[in-house]
C-alpha cells in the first residue's frame, strides 16, 4: 500500500487483534522526582528483518544501532537503553504484528526499524493509538512522511524519489547525446524512483528515450529489456534495482555488451552492500546516487568506519548509518524531552536541529525526513576491494 495509511480496522483485522492500544503505557521513568532530571531506562523495540530475503539488510541495521550504543555508553540521553529485537520478516503480514508485539507484549517506549514501506504505513496507526514514537530507518515510500504523515513517525533514511532526483539533475546538465533510458522494477519503490528521476532530469533539459518496467521479484532474464536499451541507442541508462535483482541486472548488462558502450547509472542500492561483492567486476564503473558511502572523507565517518570494521569485520552501508543516526537523534531528543510519551519525544525530535557529526555528513529533519547531501559514487577497486568512491557532490536534497 503506497498511497494511504491502513485504517485501524484493517490493521486490527490483519492482526486478528482483540486488545485495544490506548492502554499501553511507557515503561521508562521520565523524571527523577528528587532531582527533576531524566533517569531510569528507556525500552526500544528494534523491528528489523531477521529472516527472509531482507535478513542481510536487517543485520546491517541492527549492527549500526548496536554500535552507536556500544560507543556511547549504552545510553540515550541519560536513560539506560534496553533493546528488544523483533523480526519484521518480509511483508506487512509479518511486520505489522511485530510492531504490535513490541508495543503490547514488551511495552516498549519507542520503536525503531522497518524495511518494508507497507509495514511502516500499516504501523503508523498503531503508533498513533499508543501515542509512541516510531523512527523508520529504511522504508522509502513517500507517503510515510508525506501524504500519510503522522506526527509520531520520523525517518532517518531516505525517500525513494529523493535518491533518484539528484542523479536526474546531474545527468540533465551533462547534455548526454542520445538521452537516457530509464529502467526500474515494477513495484512501488521502482515507480517512485522512476518518477523522481524523470521529473528532475527533464527539468534539467534531458530527454527520456525509452522506459522499461521488468516485473518485480520474478524477472530472471533481462535480455529482452537490454535489447530495448540497445535499440533505443540511449547515451546512458538509469536503473533502480536492489538485492538479487541488482546482482542479476548488473551482471547481465555487462554480459550483453552494454557496459562497453552505454554508461550505467542508478539509485545507490544498485551497488550497495553485499550486492557489490556478488556483481564482481561487472560493477566496475557503475555510477550511483546515494547519501552515503564508506569512502566519505570526514572525521565522523573515519571514526565510524574504523569502529564498524573492528566490531564486525565488514564495511558499513547506508543501512548501518541510518540506524546509527536514529540512535544519535534519539540521544539528542531524549536529552531534551521531559518524558517518553510520543508527543514529547516527537516534539523534541523536531528541535534537534542540524546533525553535524553524522558519518553521512551534516543533515537535518525537513518534514520528519532527512534533508541531506547526496553523492555521485563510482564503483572502483580500492585496496583489492570494490568500493563506491565519491565522484561528485550532488548537493542537498529534501524529500520529493
CATH value at residue 223: 3.40.50.2300
All cell numbers assigned to 294:
564508506
The verdict on 74 and 25 lying in the same domain is yes
pTM for this model (two decimals): 0.89
pLDDT of residue 52: 86
The verdict on 145 and 211 lying in the same domain is no
Could you list the residue range(s) of the whole structural domain that residue 87 is in? 8-158+300-368
In a domain? residue 221: yes
The verdict on 284 and 334 lying in the same domain is no
Angle between helices 318-336 and 342-349 (to 10 degrees): 110
- What is the longest distance spanned by two Cα atoms in the chain? 75
The verdict on 363 and 338 lying in the same domain is yes
In a domain? residue 1: no
In a domain? residue 269: yes
* Phi-psi group of 368: left, alpha or beta (phi > 0 → left; psi -120 to 50 → alpha; rest → beta): left
In a domain? residue 208: yes
Angle between helices 55-71 and 318-336 (to 10 degrees): 40
pLDDT of residue 39: 62
The verdict on 309 and 286 lying in the same domain is no
In a domain? residue 279: yes
The verdict on 186 and 269 lying in the same domain is yes
The verdict on 201 and 90 lying in the same domain is no
The verdict on 253 and 354 lying in the same domain is no
The verdict on 252 and 283 lying in the same domain is yes
The verdict on 151 and 165 lying in the same domain is no
Rounded Cα gap, residues 259 and 248, in angstroms: 14
In a domain? residue 295: no
Residue with cell 561487472: 282
Rounded Cα gap, residues 154 and 152, in angstroms: 7
pLDDT by position in tens, the chain (length 400): 333 334 433 333 333 332 333 333 334 444 443 333 456 999 999 999 999 888 999 999 999 999 999 999 999 999 999 999 999 999 999 999 999 999 999 999 999 999 999 999 999 999 999 999 999 999 999 999 999 999 999 999 999 999 999 999 999 999 899 999 999 999 999 999 999 999 999 999 999 999 999 999 899 999 999 999 999 999 999 999 998 999 999 999 999 999 999 999 999 999 999 999 999 999 999 999 999 999 999 999 999 999 999 999 999 999 999 999 999 999 999 999 999 999 999 999 999 999 999 999 999 999 999 999 999 999 999 999 999 999 999 999 999 9
The verdict on 27 and 15 lying in the same domain is yes
Please tell me the total count of domains within the chain.
Answer: 2
The verdict on 389 and 273 lying in the same domain is yes
In a domain? residue 131: yes
Q: Is the dihedral of CA 332, 65, 83, 52 positive or negative?
A: positive
In a domain? residue 88: yes
Rounded Cα gap, residues 130 and 20, in angstroms: 9
Amino acid at each position: 500500500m503506497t498511497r494511504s495509511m491502513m485504517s485501524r480496522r484493517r490493521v486490527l483485522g490483519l492482526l486478528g487483534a482483540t486488545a485495544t492500544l490506548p492502554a499501553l503505557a511507557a515503561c521508562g521513568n521520565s523524571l527523577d522526582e528528587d532531582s527533576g532530571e531524566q533517569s531510569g531506562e528507556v525500552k526500544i523495540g528494534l523491528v528489523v528483518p531477521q529472516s527472509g530475503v531482507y535478513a542481510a539488510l536487517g543485520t546491517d541495521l541492527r549492527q549500526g544501532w548496536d554500535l552507536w550504543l556500544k560507543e556511547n555508553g549504552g545510553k540515550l540521553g541519560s536513560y539506560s537503553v534496553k533493546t528488544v529485537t523483533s523480526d519484521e520478516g518480509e511483508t506487512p503480514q509479518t511486520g505489522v504484528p511485530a510492531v504490535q508485539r513490541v508495543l503490547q507484549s514488551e511495552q516498549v517506549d519507542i520503536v525503531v526499524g522497518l524495511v518494508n514501506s507497507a509495514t511502516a504505513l500499516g504501523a503508523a496507526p498503531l503508533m498513533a493509538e499508543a501515542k509512541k514514537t516510531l523512527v523508520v530507518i529504511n522504508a522509502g515510500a513517500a507517503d510515510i512522511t508525506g501524504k500519510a504523515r503522522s506526527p509520531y513517525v520520523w525517518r532517518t533514511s531516505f525517500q525513494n524519489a529523493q535518491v533518484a532526483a539528484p542523479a536526474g539533475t546531474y545527468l540533465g546538465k551533462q547534455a548526454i547525446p542520445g538521452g537516457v533510458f530509464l529502467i526500474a522494477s515494477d513495484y512501488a519503490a521502482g515507480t517512485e524512483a522512476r518518477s523522481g528521476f524523470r521529473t528532475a532530469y527533464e527539468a534539467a533539459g534531458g530527454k527520456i528515450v525509452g522506459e522499461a518496467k521488468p516485473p518485480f521479484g520474478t524477472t530472471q532474464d533481462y535480455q529482452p529489456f537490454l535489447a530495448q536499451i540497445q535499440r533505443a541507442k540511449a547515451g546512458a541508462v538509469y536503473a533502480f534495482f536492489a538485492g538479487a535483482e541488482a546482482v542479476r541486472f548488473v551482471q547481465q548488462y555487462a554480459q550483453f555488451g552494454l557496459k562497453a558502450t552505454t554508461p550505467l547509472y542508478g539509485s545507490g542500492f544498485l551497488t550497495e552492500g553485499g550486492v557489490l561483492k556478488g556483481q564482481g567486476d561487472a560493477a566496475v564503473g557503475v555510477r550511483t546516487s546515494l547519501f552515503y558511502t564508506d569512502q566519505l572523507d570526514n572525521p565522523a565517518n573515519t571514526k565510524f568506519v574504523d569502529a564498524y570494521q573492528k566490531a564486525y569485520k565488514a564495511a558499513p552501508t547506508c543501512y548501518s548509518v541510518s540506524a546509527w543516526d536514529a540512535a544519535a537523534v534519539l540521544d539528542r531528543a531524549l536529552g531534551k524531552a521531559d518524558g517518553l510519551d510520543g508527543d514529547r519525544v516527537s516534539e523534541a525530535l523536531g528541535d534537534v536541529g542540524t546533525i553535524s557529526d553524522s558519518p553521512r555528513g551534516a543533515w537535518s529533519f525537513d518534514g520528519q525526513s532527512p534533508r541531506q547531501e547526496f553523492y555521485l559514487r563510482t564503483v572502483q577497486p580500492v585496496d583489492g576491494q570494490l568500493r563506491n568512491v565519491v565522484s561528485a557532490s550532488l548537493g542537498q536534497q529534501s524529500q520529493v
